[in-house]
Amino acid sequence: MSEKEKRAVNPLRFFTKLNRSIRKRILHRKFGDEWKADGALQSRKYKSYDAYLEHQKAKLATHDFGNYDVQFRSALRERLGTLDIDWRNREVLCLAARIGTEVKAFLDLGCRAIGIDLNPGPENEYVVQGDFHNLQFPPNSMDVVYTNSLDHAFDIDRIAAEVLRVLKPEGVLIIEAVKGRDQGVNPGFFESFFWNNIEELIGLFERAGFTVTLRAPITYPWPGETICFRARR
């Protein structure tokens, strides 16, 4: 089907996609694509923290989630179910949870789960507004912290410290991380933090006070790993 025929069949979808593309090009001109390296870890250059926040908040309006909500919810629920954890009534916090798909997967397993995001969108019952650099939850309040969005960090050390603060003494941190540049994966336009390999990311959290308890490969929503940590108290 030609582009003209597609526009005739679904004009609203076509113009929505066009609007997203235009907004993304405008953002690209505004924020650029300049990075700074610290060994195998890299961070996008921003003029200020406010510029970082503006960039990250814009993702929701420029992204088409399509079937992601259904497919990722199922995939995550399935792999969480293979872990040796009794999920019933666990207090779970999902960092940078966007539209709340990961929150739904934990709820499916019987958890009490909530997500935070810089821009959860309107009327999102699964995700509240929040910044994973400054969590609004008290110390020792969470059984599990989950994130697959560390590639959107501004200050990864601050995030690690905040996770350590809110986790209960026997709590679990679950990170899902995409493969790095060494394996042919490069960051997209909205990523603000990246790595050459997952080993370097794991090392960062080990230095922050965590111990790896499990590593497993994943293929969806991208090739990478699930990494489980316990905090060293």
Residue 74's alpha-carbon distances to 2, 56, 102, 143, 174, in angstroms, are: 33, 26, 9, 22, 17
Cα angle 171-201-196, degrees, rounded to a multiple of 5 = 160
> Does residue 156 contact residue 135 with C-beta atoms inside 8 Å?
no
Domains and CATH numbers, the chain: 1-31 (no CATH), 33-231 (3.40.50.150)
Tell me the two tokens of residue 164: 């350590």
Q: Which residues pair with 128 in a beta bridge?
A: 116
pTM for the complete prediction? 0.89
Q: List the 41-44 sheet strands across, edge first.
A: 35-38, 41-44, 193-195
**What does the pLDDT profile of the chain (233 residues) look like in tens digits?**
555 554 454 565 544 454 555 566 666 666 777 999 999 999 999 999 999 999 999 887 776 777 889 999 999 999 999 999 999 999 999 999 999 999 999 999 999 999 999 999 999 999 999 999 999 999 999 999 999 999 999 999 999 999 999 999 999 999 999 999 999 999 998 999 999 999 999 999 999 999 999 999 999 999 999 999 999 87
